[in-house]
Amino acid sequence: MKVAGYGSLGLTNLMKNKRSLGQSILAAPHIFWAVLFIILPLFIVVYYAFTDSNGQFSFSNIASLTDYAPIFGLSLELAIIATAICLAIGYPLAYCIAKAKPKHQKIFIMLLMLPMWTNLLIRTYSIMAILDDGGFLNSLLNTSFHIVGTKGAVIFGMVYDFLPYMVLPIYTCISKIDRSMWEAAADLGCGPIGTVVKVIFPLSMSGIISGVTMVLVPSISTFYISQKLGGGTFELIGDTIERQFVTGALNVGAAISLVMMVLILISITIMNRFSDAEEGGIIV
């Protein structure tokens, strides 16, 4: 018995080694890619953030960031509002799609994805053309609404651009919930609304957290939406970073980027705490 046990153990180990060798060969291109385009640039960002324009080590970039606190505050405010609206629209939408007949589901998802086939920048430009003071909407209605240049327009742009990122993970999550969950809830005396609130909503929490992350992060750091739909009156943190790099202030730009990254990392970690441990957190 013992011998057989050891024998099989040895065999499993051998197989494991073999598999891990094959796996590392397969993973090599990805690791190379990750090092070249993710890890290395990160180090460059860190390097620039902690040096001055002469290449000397310095905290001055980080120290100067306090000047940008109001901009960061505004970015956060708009991003949170946009994310909240995305969730308020996205959850019911995702729920309805997940509960639709399978062949209808495909059509709905297709419709949702369709705008994403157009470049984000082009879509934002189009919204600008529609909402502008002398734009399509105003000429159609013969009105003179001033929309572009308001907070509302920027938020609208964010919601429009990022809504699919909210809907898709929630939809995936809800459609994976077994039919028996709905039935068990009903069986135990839960009405249709109660079932959604008490069972389906908690069970789709991992989808909600993925969706919130996938909308919040690009909303905070966006620059083109605020540039185009903000009509030049808004500067968000993304615009600030862009301006630093465009004007050659690489060190300050890198410092802001680094701080942003750290903040986003912290918030994702916190959000993952709320997510179901079994789901393995979020992949961003």
Partner 1 sequence: MAKLIELKGISKSYDGEKVIDSMDLYIRDKEFITLLGPSGCGKTTTLRIIGGFETADEGQVFFDGVEISDVPAYKRQVNTVFQKYALFPHLNVYENIAFPLRLKKLDEEEIRTRVTDMLKMVALVGFENKSVSTLSGGQQQRVAIARALVSHPRVLLLDEPLGALDLKLRKDMQNELKSIQQKIGITFVYVTHDQEEALSMSDTVVVIADGEIQQIGTPTDIYNEPKNAFVADFIGESNIIDGVMLEDKKVKIASHVFDCVDGGYDKNEPVDVVIRPEDVDVVKPEDGMLQGQVTAVTFKGVHYEIIVDIKGFKWMIQSTDYVAPDAIIGIYIEPEGIHIMKKSKYSGMFGDYSSFSDEIDQLSDADAAEEF
Contacting residues toward partner 1, per CB under 8 A:
178, 180-181, 183-191, 194, 198-199, 202-203, 205, 276, 278
Closest distance between partner 1 and the C-beta of residue 278, in Å?
A: 7
User: Cα–Cα distance between 276 and 261 in angstroms, integer?
Assistant: 24
- Given the complex with partner 1, which of 150 and 272 has the nearer CB atom? 272
**Residue at token pair 């809907």:** 167
User: Cα–Cα distance between 140 and 226 in angstroms, integer?
Assistant: 25
User: Cα–Cα distance between 110 and 140 in angstroms, integer?
Assistant: 29
- Given the complex with partner 1, which of 111 and 184 has the nearer CB atom? 184
Copy the structure tokens of residue 188: 């135990």
- Given the complex with partner 1, which of 232 and 280 has the nearer CB atom? 280
User: Cα–Cα distance between 221 and 113 in angstroms, integer?
Assistant: 22
- Given the complex with partner 1, which of 21 and 188 has the nearer CB atom? 188
User: Cα–Cα distance between 131 and 258 in angstroms, integer?
Assistant: 34
Closest distance between partner 1 and the C-beta of residue 94, in Å?
A: 18
Closest distance between partner 1 and the C-beta of residue 190, in Å?
A: 6
Closest distance between partner 1 and the C-beta of residue 208, in Å?
A: 13
Closest distance between partner 1 and the C-beta of residue 105, in Å?
A: 19
Backbone angles phi, psi at 204, to 5 degrees: -100, 15
Q: Report residue 55 CA to chain centroid gap.
A: 34
- Given the complex with partner 1, which of 77 and 276 has the nearer CB atom? 276
Burial of 165 (0-12, 13-18, 19+ CB in 10 A): buried
Which of 142, 214, 223 is CA-nearest to residue 171? 214
- Given the complex with partner 1, which of 26 and 277 has the nearer CB atom? 277
Closest distance between partner 1 and the C-beta of residue 180, in Å?
A: 4
